[in-house]
Amino acid sequence: MKTIKKLVLKNFKRFRTLEIDFDKELNILIGGNETGKSSVLQALDIVMSCSRSKVETLGLEALFNADCIDEYLKKMPQNIADLPEMVIEIYLEGIIAHELDGRNNIKQSETLAPNGIIAHELDGRNNSKAIGHVGIKLVCKPVEEYTADIRKILAENHESFPFEYYDIRFSTFADNSVHPNKKPLNHLLIDSAQINNDYATREYTRSMYVAHATVVQRNRHGFEYRQAKSKFKEEILKDLNEPLQEYQFGVRTSPKASIETDIIITEDDIPIERKGKGRQCFIKTEFALHDREHSLDILLLEEPENHLSHIHMRKLIERIKASSKKQLLIATHSSLISTRLNLKKAIILSEKNTEKPISLKELSGETAEFFMKAPDNNVLELALCKKAILVEGDAEFILIEALYKKHTNDSSLDADGVHVISVGGTSFKRYMELAKLLGIRIAVIRDNDGDHQANCIDNYTEYVSESIRVFADEDNSRYTFEVCMYQDNKAVCDAKFSLRRRTLSVEDYMLKNKADVAFFLLKDCANDLVAPKYFQQAAEWIRL
């Protein structure tokens, strides 16, 4: 397998600097909006395409980090030596000799590295790490021959940045130029947001055709296709053209109307572009995952969950899990995708830590497997927040907003940036392990279940830290949330529920109807409720 080991970015889109190490098989990029998931896939797509025209179409102004440009324009004086550069580097593994050069081109004095890589072709120290490694890069920097022109423009203190004087160069770490027809990896980017875009569909089909057909097959197909067009003109259009003299009808034969541009993918003889968005997304991804001798090395998936029902998303997950012999990089907002595939393969991109994303490979196997098997989970909710309160059941979840507001001088969970997650008592340790790895501040609110020391202190010794605390009632007789709420709000609860019960006491009625009781208290008595002391302590601590 030919794979990407590492990506290094400098001044690309939102990243001043970024470094990500990738797994050889599966990588799941997780992050909120504007954290750079799409930018990472786009950077990989650009440098693997080795296409100058792709960069020019996107525009350097859209690709360069806006902050570095603004900082330079505000500098006085503006020196040419300080002009920012944009760099994308990918460090490669698994590329063997015959795939690049052929042994006939290797001098007798040159040797192969242990992994079979030709040192002089891709291996070099021309990278930001200054280490010997196989890789390719894109560098956008000012063209030296335009130095005089750039210096003149800078002296005039224009408000616009001189992108027009920048060079776009793809090269290897050995400083050899790389062109699209000599790129070392076959890759494909599938963006579900562009699933109905005609150009994107044509490019996808062309890429898949090139990936699945050998060079010999493509040459034969191209020749036969031109022959068929010529035959169509000579035989079918003959009757139409005979009466015409100077001008006649023909068939387009330019490279823009070749087999690669005209071929389509069908399902049951129906072109996939006529399918619904969800079905298109599924077909394109499944087709790209097929393993063939000349198929893809790298597959980039941008939010594959878009347009898919829950059932089809599960099918897609199973299809991705079954794929082999290619490296997958998936950007997603879906807890289902990230946990069902393998949470240990997740890479968290966040707003506060833009230089070095957090890898979950250190997560214990048990916890990763737990989230894979759990019927429902809120992994991404936790991973993407800064502070969280974990509660045990529906009743606490229903009432916590009102209780928090009552005891924080009318503040709110949203205003304080606190997310609430109902996880179930048996799952606390799994979420605490994840929070510890991510550095998220969390308050766990739970029942003492009749033994505060054993259940709420000793039970979490390995998980509690400066950023993780457990809050529960210290009185063992107040063993659950409903008992605490009744004893702290006896008059309110008696007035509200005394008519509803038959033989049960009000407290027992509340224990038998936990979620309904919480809903009615929220609906009719929210302003009169007093939160148990441990709720108040948790609210005070999480705000620090």
- Give the tens place of pLDDT for each residue, 259-290: 888 888 787 778 877 777 777 777 777 777 77
The answer on 238 and 146 residing in a single domain is no
The answer on 465 and 397 residing in a single domain is yes
What is the domain extent for residue 277? 202-295
The answer on 133 and 218 residing in a single domain is no
Mean pLDDT of all residues belonging to the chain: 85
Q: Of 258 and 69, which is predicted with more confidence?
A: 69
What is the distance between the alpha carbons of residues 326 and 291, in angstroms, rounded to a whole number? 8
Q: CA nearest 286: which of 214, 204, 199, 194?
A: 204
Contact 47, 87 (CB under 8 A): no
Handedness of CA 97, 101, 104, 107 (dihedral sign): negative
Which pLDDT score is estimated for 294?
53
- Domain membership of residue 126 (yes or no) is yes
Residue 526 pLDDT > 50: yes
Which of the listed residues 229, 262, 295 is the one where a domain comes to its end? 295
Residue 113 pLDDT > 50: no
List C-alpha distances in Å: 370 to 316, 433, 474: 21, 12, 30
- Domain membership of residue 146 (yes or no) is yes
What is the distance between the alpha carbons of residues 62 and 66, in angstroms, rounded to a whole number? 8
**221-230, 299-308, 511-520, range with the lowest pLDDT:** 299-308
H or E element that contains 441: strand 441-445
pLDDT digit string, tens, across residues 326-354: 899 999 888 878 888 888 999 988 776 66
Average pLDDT over residues 118-134: 81
Mapping DSSP onto H, E and C, the string for 493-522 reads HHHHHCCCCCCCCHHHHHHHCHHHHHHHHH
Q: CA nearest 28: which of 321, 261, 277?
A: 321
Question: Dihedrals φ, ψ of 32, to 5°?
Answer: -75, -175
Read off the tokens for 426: 């048996």
Which pLDDT score is estimated for 105?
41
Query: Model-level pTM?
Result: 0.79
CB atoms within 10 A of CB 211: 19
Average pLDDT over residues 29-57: 91
Q: What angle do CA 216, 220, 223 make, to 5 degrees?
A: 140
The total number of structural domains that make up the chain = 3
Unique residue bearing structure tokens 């693997």: 48
Residue count (the chain): 544
Binned at pLDDT 50, 70 and 90, residue 111 comes out as very low
Which pLDDT score is estimated for 114?
36
**120-129, 284-293, 359-368, range with the lowest pLDDT:** 284-293
The answer on 226 and 159 residing in a single domain is no
Which pLDDT score is estimated for 417?
93
User: pLDDT exceeding 90 applies to what percent of the chain?
Assistant: 45
156, burial (CB in 10 Å: exposed 0-12, middle 13-18, buried 19+): exposed
Which of the listed residues 295, 327, 344 is the one where a domain comes to its end? 295
The answer on 533 and 483 residing in a single domain is yes
Which of the listed residues 179, 211, 239 is the one where a domain comes to its end? 179
